[in-house]
Amino acid sequence: MDPFLQNWKGILWLCGSTALGIVIHFVLFRTAERFVKNAQSELGKSIVRHGRAPSILIIPLLVIHFLLPFMPLSPAALAVIRHTFGILLTASMAWLMIKAVYILEELVLSQFKTDVADNLRARRIHTQIQILKKVVIVVVGLLALAAILMTFEKVRYLGTSILASAGIAGIIVGFAAQRSIATLLAGIQIALTQPIRIDDVVIVENEWGRIEEITLTYVVVRIWDLRRLVVPITYFLEKPFQNWTRTSADILGTVFLYVDYTVPVEAVREAFQRILEKSEKWDGRVSVLQVTNTTERTVELRALMSARDASTAWELRCHVREKLIEFLQKNYPHALPRLRAEISHHHGSGEWGGR
């Protein structure tokens, strides 16, 4: 007899159970959406948003599980359905656990905003959560895959054979996965020690940028001109780099001017102070103008100023440089760099000489 005809009633039961599970899922989540909307619960909204997708698989599976003993199915069909049910339930539970990690991430990160002036602690938490989230997702995925594969008889036998020769297999896998394991450990070390954090300002490979993303294998640096520099995560443990926001976001900026020896330094210093006081980008901490060097032709002036972060410091430096040049052009044009020459006439010989 055709197996399909033998089990057609059981197949109808199976389809009906699946449909019933989908209806229960729809009613449950529609009710939950209205409840969290009225309660204004951000946690509830996050649970509903992330739990909807895996639940559309879990709820029908649970309905099938309770109704399966009453389904008129042959022992062979029942064994196949139970095996398939176990695989789907394992996969859906792993999916639900991963979504729970996302819910936990949103719950924690909502307490730590990075769009504020003093966001050092928030960036530290964001970095740790993002890396640990990826580690948990990888571990859950691998465990779920291993559990699914072990439900197959041949794979179980293969696993037993591998365990019997665990010494040789361990050595082979160790050599093959040495780089991957080192990268994974580097990602965990970055999360714990935090030489870099999300939104840190860094100089990497002579490029200025911000840390945009940290994964278990690479880091994405958003460069000032919106290019993306992708760097292996081990780079930040093996090579030196500059982190401008390691302990705080505030930073000092410098502007160098090369002027003539006739420059009135005190007047330039007063102008520099007035320019800073009128600028919203200056944080009011540091303002120093000094003569830092001299050459046979020019005097070097260094203007030192402070700002709340690297981007603001860059804009402040450009603004100060422009205004100081404008001040010198307008008030002391003779103080701009110039080339001097002395021309003398030798009397009696009719020759002209120059120095």
Ordered structural domains, the chain, with CATH: 1-111 (no CATH), 119-245 (2.30.30.60), 251-335 (3.30.70.100)
Backbone angles phi, psi at 106, to 5 degrees: -65, -40
Q: Which pLDDT score, from 0 to 100, does residue 354 have?
A: 47
Q: Where is mean pLDDT largest: 115-119, 158-162, 237-241?
A: 237-241
pLDDT on residue 171: 56
| Residue that wins the pLDDT comparison between 37 and 234 | 234
For residue 255, the cross-strand partners are 303
Q: Provide the pLDDT for residue 178.
A: 60
Q: Report the pLDDT averaged over residues 128-140.
A: 84
**Highest mean predicted confidence (pLDDT) among 142-151, 199-208, 237-246, 272-281:** 272-281
The answer, yes or no, to whether residue 164 has pLDDT greater than 70, is no
Cα–Cα dist 37/86, whole Å: 35
The pLDDT > 70 percentage for the chain reads: 83
Chain segment 292-346, per-residue pLDDT in tens: 999 888 999 999 999 887 778 889 999 999 999 999 999 999 988 887 777 766 6
* pLDDT(154) > 80: no
What is the rounded distance in angstroms from the CA atom of residue 146 to the CA atom of residue 155? Answer: 10
The reported pLDDT for the residue numbered 249 is 67
Q: Which of 105-114, 208-217, 346-355 shows the highest mean pLDDT?
A: 208-217
Place of tokens 């020690």: 193
Gyration radius (Cα) of the chain, Å: 35
For residue 305, count CB atoms less than 10 angstroms from its CB and return exposed for 0-12, middle for 13-18, buried for 19 or more: buried
Residue 185 has pLDDT above 80, yes or no: no
- For residue 44, list its beta bridge partners: none
From 132, 234, 245, select the one nearest 197 (Cα to Cα). Answer: 245
Higher pLDDT, residue 78 or 288: 288
For residues 41-62, give the mean pLDDT. 84
Taking only the tens place, the pLDDT of each residue in 94-107 is: 999 999 999 888 88
Average pLDDT over residues 80-108: 88
Query: What local confidence, expressed as pLDDT, does residue 346 receive?
Result: 60
Q: Which residues contact 89 (CB under 8 A, 6 or more apart)?
A: 58, 61, 65
| CA distance between the termini of the chain | 117
What stretches of 150-287 show up as alpha helix (H) in DSSP?
A: 153-164, 166-176, 178-193, 235-238, 265-278
46-55, 112-121, 216-225, 241-250, range with the lowest pLDDT: 112-121
The more confidently predicted of residues 68 and 336 is: 336
Quick one: average pLDDT of 73-84? 80
pLDDT for 51 beyond 80: yes
Q: What is the pLDDT of residue 355?
A: 44
pLDDT at 54 over 70: yes
| Angle, CA 278 vertex, CA 275 and CA 279 arms, to 5° | 85
pLDDT bracket for residue 290 (50, 70, 90): very high
Distance CA 115, CA 65 (A): 48
Other CB atoms within 10 A of residue 230 CB = 11
Our CA angle for 299, 300, 304, nearest 5°, is 145
Classify residue 249 by burial, with Cβ atoms within 10 Å: 0-12, 13-18, 19+. Answer: buried
Query: For residue 115, what pLDDT band results from cuts at 50, 70 and 90?
Result: low
* Nearest in space to 144 (alpha carbons), one of 93, 102, 104: 93
Least confident window among 23-27, 168-172, 249-253? 168-172
Whether the pLDDT of residue 110 is over 60: the answer is: yes
Angle, alpha carbons 197-198-203 (nearest 5°) = 70
Tokens coding 24 = 């229960």
pLDDT value at 43 more than 60? yes
The residue type found at 259 is V
Q: Which residue has the higher pLDDT, 19 or 127?
A: 19
Question: What tokens appear for 152 in the block?
Answer: 């197959």
